[in-house]
A and B are shown apart, each in its own frame.
Chain A
Amino acid sequence: MLKKLKDIVRKSSIHVCIVNCGGCNGCDVELVALLSPRYDLEQYGIYVHNNPREADVLLVTGAVTEQWRDNLRRIYAKTPEPKIVVAVGNCPQSGDVFAQEGGRVLAPVSDFIPVDAAIPGCPPRPSEILEAVLTVAPGALAAKGRAQDARKD
């Protein structure tokens, strides 16, 4: 009974933190556009507040720059379990145009923290981001939560 209740709660209230670790801002702008009345992220029970200590989902944008080498791991460690990481855009997956000779980026993000889902695009459309987060986040969070409970028992 309690486990079922926990499942429902985890699926229906998802707190999101956006971590820009060195991109061009384009993906962040599209994430802000998600808050607008046209897409309205909050009607799906997703709340963006940019606080890693309360977040369930980390939306990582940008190729990892020198300054984020340790900070990204620290932010991931601060986020409470269960947590998932969604990489938004091309940069966290491959470094996009910045991963060339002369660029100071350390992409991909998966070298630093485990990534659960990735959305390609430069930048992806808001509807694509929304669809990906809604497909992955509730199920993965509930599954990770169940596994965590099982370990405690």
Chain B
Amino acid sequence: MILPIGPIHPGLKEPLRLKLQTQGEKVIKAEIDYGYVHRGIEKIMEGKTWQKCIYLSERICGICSYEHTQTFAETLEIISGVQAPLRAQYLRVITNELDRIQSHLLANSTFFKTLDHETLFMHVLALREYAMDSLELLTGNRVNLGWNVVGGVRMDADERHFNAILENLKKIEDGFDRHVALFEEAPIVALRAKGVGVMTKEEAIKGHAVGPIGRASGLKHDLREEHYTYMDEFDFKPIWRKEGDNYARTLNRLYEVEQSIDLIKQAIENMPKGDIRTPVDIPSGYGEWRNEAPRGEVRYMAETNGDLIKRISIRTPSIMNIDSCARYMLKDVATVADAVSTYASSDPCIACTERVAITDIDTGKSAVKDFFEVK
């Protein structure tokens, strides 16, 4: 039978319909329906100045809102041929990693919630609040930070900010060890997570899985390695695992939190002095840039006409991850309850995923197309 889950369902946070084809309790096949939160942001951005567009790009997704603004700013910096000052790049790294910490902790807590492990859920959410505090201290906001501008960042930070952030990170680290022990040693989580929702390396390549989902299946790919700030200034190696099950995905995210804490410490230690913003004059042109968001690769392709954005296309990571989740992870899951937790472990973010499906009326075929292909 076909079991529909969603769009409003106790197990899901965001509106999306999961159609599970089941035989008894066993899930054979899964299909995912989206389109519930399509707002048409790319279309709204056309013909507006970057000051307005950066505000819109922040509201593509509320969880990884920071990375969208950074990628947008860096795309326009590429078009105009300038680079943000070094101090601004360092401040961007700190905010980026703090955002990654809160996003990963949120994703893990949602996974524990779907396992009905209320204790770990509460522990992880409590730790996340320290990261939110640091973000608020640095930028003034909790979720939509409004921190990036083209050519740098909006505000400077000083010694007091850094000390407070280090104190908060200390608190996260303390709780973190206890929490990893609870996760790694307690049999109750391992029983529900090990060997469930397995995606092999070949399947991950076929399904274009990115970010922590791909890295948990053995793809050693992290775009931070190719970013100029991380490449030149930081000591960074991607974290990856081989197993490709729910346990590996969750643990991979946990260790990435540890790595992010280390990166922030490096940034605060070597913080250079200088300006935080350069004036930018945007010419007409085309540019594209990729960045590693908490969920994987974000790509912006933009065409400008003087100060105005002529056309923009945004590719977010969740579209690939949700697709590979439906095709490979949910293929042979033992129970429906495990299917929901497998879906949660792939860290779906629906708000940035939405696409328009174009239906050809003559043939009745429908397809999701890239915005640049549509005439």
CA distance A125 to B140 in the complex (A): 12
The minimal Cβ–Cβ distance linking B207 to chain A, given in whole angstroms, is: 23
Say yes or no: is A112 at the interface (Cβ < 8 Å to chain B): no
Among A18, A37, A63, A123, which residue has its beta carbon within 8 angstroms of that of B39? A63
A70-112 residues with Cβ-Cβ distance < 8 A to B are 71, 75, 96-98, 100-105
Are A29 and B143 closer than 8 Å at their CB atoms?
A: yes
**With contact pairs A26-B65, A52-B8, A75-B8 given, residues A103 and B40 touching in the complex (Cβ less than 8 Å):** yes
Are B62 and A27 closer than 8 Å at their CB atoms?
A: yes
Are A29 and B40 closer than 8 Å at their CB atoms?
A: no
The minimal Cβ–Cβ distance linking A39 to chain B, given in whole angstroms, is: 9
| B127 to A, closest residue via Cβ | A36
The minimal Cβ–Cβ distance linking B132 to chain A, given in whole angstroms, is: 7
Are B43 and A35 closer than 8 Å at their CB atoms?
A: no
Are B144 and A26 closer than 8 Å at their CB atoms?
A: yes
Interface string of B105-143 (1 = CB under 8 A from A): 010011000000000001001101100100000000011
Among B39, B110, B125, which residue has its beta carbon within 8 angstroms of that of A105? B39
Count chain B CB atoms within 10 A of each CB in A28, A29, A51, A68 and give the residue with the most.
A29
B266-301 residues with Cβ-Cβ distance < 8 A to A are none
Are B60 and A24 closer than 8 Å at their CB atoms?
A: yes
**With contact pairs A24-B61, A38-B126 given, residues A65 and B39 touching in the complex (Cβ less than 8 Å):** yes
Residue numbers in B under 8 Å from A138 (CB-CB): none
CA distance A65 to B14 in the complex (A): 14
Are A65 and B143 closer than 8 Å at their CB atoms?
A: no
Are B144 and A36 closer than 8 Å at their CB atoms?
A: no
Per DSSP, chain B at the interface is: loop
The minimal Cβ–Cβ distance linking A129 to chain B, given in whole angstroms, is: 12
Residue numbers in A under 8 Å from B40 (CB-CB): 98, 102-104
Say yes or no: is B41 at the interface (Cβ < 8 Å to chain A): yes
Say yes or no: is B56 at the interface (Cβ < 8 Å to chain A): yes
Among A21, A27, A33, which residue has its beta carbon within 8 angstroms of that of B125? A33
Residue numbers in B under 8 Å from A32 (CB-CB): 13, 106, 109-110, 125
CA distance A51 to B7 in the complex (A): 11
Count chain A CB atoms within 10 A of each CB in B7, B37, B65 and give the residue with the most.
B37
The minimal Cβ–Cβ distance linking B129 to chain A, given in whole angstroms, is: 5
Among A28, A75, A104, which residue has its beta carbon within 8 angstroms of that of B13? A28
Interface size class of A (residues with CB under 8 A): 35 or more
Residue numbers in A under 8 Å from B216 (CB-CB): none
Interface string of B77-108 (1 = CB under 8 A from A): 00000000000000000000000000000100
Say yes or no: is A67 at the interface (Cβ < 8 Å to chain B): yes
Residue numbers in B under 8 Å from A116 (CB-CB): none
Say yes or no: is A13 at the interface (Cβ < 8 Å to chain B): no
Are A30 and B56 closer than 8 Å at their CB atoms?
A: no
CA distance A22 to B7 in the complex (A): 12
Interface string of B11-51 (1 = CB under 8 A from A): 01111000000000000000000011111110110100000
Among A21, A27, A122, which residue has its beta carbon within 8 angstroms of that of B15? A21
| B129 to A, closest residue via Cβ | A38
Are A35 and B62 closer than 8 Å at their CB atoms?
A: no
Are A65 and B38 closer than 8 Å at their CB atoms?
A: yes
Are A125 and B10 closer than 8 Å at their CB atoms?
A: no
CA distance A36 to B46 in the complex (A): 39
Residue numbers in B under 8 Å from A100 (CB-CB): 44
CA distance A62 to B60 in the complex (A): 12
CA distance A102 to B47 in the complex (A): 11
CA distance A117 to B223 in the complex (A): 44
Residue numbers in B under 8 Å from A26 (CB-CB): 59, 62-63, 65, 143-144
| A31 to B, closest residue via Cβ | B13
14 new A-B contacts, CB < 8 A, other than A25-B62, A25-B63, A67-B35, are A20-B15, A22-B37, A25-B14, A26-B144, A51-B8, A67-B36, A96-B59, A98-B44, A102-B43, A103-B41, A103-B44, A104-B39, A123-B62, A123-B142
Query: Could you tell me which A residues sit within 8 Å of B by CB distance?
Result: 17-30, 32-33, 35-38, 49-52, 62-63, 65-68, 71, 75, 96-98, 100-105, 122-123, 125
15 interchain pairs, CB-CB under 8 A: A18-B13, A22-B38, A24-B144, A25-B350, A26-B59, A26-B63, A26-B144, A32-B109, A33-B125, A33-B129, A36-B125, A65-B36, A68-B36, A98-B41, A122-B144
